[in-house]
Amino acid sequence: MAKGWLAFWDAPHPIYVNSRHKDVHYRLIAEAIVRLLPSSSAQPSARVLDYGSGEALHADLVAASTEELLLCEGAPKLRAALAARFAGLAKIHIIKPEDVAHLPEHSLDLVVLHSVAQYLTPDETDALFVLFRRLLKPDGKLIVSDVIPPDTSALTDALALLRFGAANGFFTAAAFGLGRARLSDYWRLRSELGLTRYDERTMNEKLRAAGLAVERLPANIGHNQARMAFIARPA
């Protein structure tokens, strides 16, 4: 991830307009991951990697249905906060991005790459897909979600946030939050560094080049349905 983006996410920022927004955002992601797990039996056996997990406020919901949940975060302060938040949960382990390459081959049932590809170069994303292919079990799954299509505008993102706020009790905060974000480093970084975007065909090609069979999911994970999600399996 570009150092500028990494530093942005590792410091206080205005992306979450209030605590209600942050809570429902992370709960929505956690619940979606739970639905994608290969097992929810009384004896969960899935090993899951959430790569670029962010604050993962509700990772405990995911961990309850897994044997092990690995939260990989590149931002040092976020990683320390994760370690403190989940210190009492033996199923959750906090790791650095560089630790992922040392995981055992074919050891993961599910890998989640949510809202990360837009902050990576295409080459970095390619390298991750190859790595994930090596780490997935033969029947494992990779979820790549919140992928931004080339024609998705900032206005589309703003309207999605307002709808999300209206549905979850923070519409006014979302409206004010958009104004704060416009004056923040987020917009400077978005202009200077940009966001990496993919159309459906290009994302399909990248995943297939890594040795994965891929299909687009009918809905994105998260509130913004102008963005895309894909499920990929070892071919």
Could you report the average pLDDT of every consecutive run of 10 residues in the chain (235 residues)?
84 93 98 86 82 97 96 96 96 97 97 96 97 97 98 93 97 93 83 91 98 98 97 97
Up-side HSE of residue 39: CA atoms within 13 Å toward CB? 15
Closest-CA residue to 9 (of 98, 61, 77): 77
Model confidence pTM above 0.85? yes
Q: How far is the C-alpha of 84 from the C-alpha of 87, rounded, in Å?
A: 5
Task: Kindly report the length of the chain.
Answer: 235
- The amino acid at residue 174 is A
What is the domain extent for residue 222? 3-234
Give me the pLDDT at residue 39, please: 63
What's the burial of 108, exposed, middle or buried (CB within 10 Å: 0-12/13-18/19+)?
buried
DSSP state letter for 196: -
DSSP state letter for 227: S
Give me the pLDDT at residue 220, please: 98
Cβ atoms 89, 60 nearer than 8 A: yes
Q: How far is the C-alpha of 108 from the C-alpha of 68, rounded, in Å?
A: 9
Closest-CA residue to 60 (of 97, 90, 16, 39): 90
Tokens (6 digits) for 138: 């033969």
| Tokens 């390459």, located at residue | 101
Overall domain count for the chain: 1
Give me the pLDDT at residue 1, please: 62
Helices assigned H by DSSP within the chain: 3-9, 19-36, 59-63, 76-85, 97-100, 122-135, 154-168, 171-182, 185-192, 200-209
Q: What is the CATH number of the domain that holds 188?
A: 3.40.50.150
Q: How far is the C-alpha of 45 from the C-alpha of 50, rounded, in Å?
A: 16
Tokens (6 digits) for 212: 């994965």
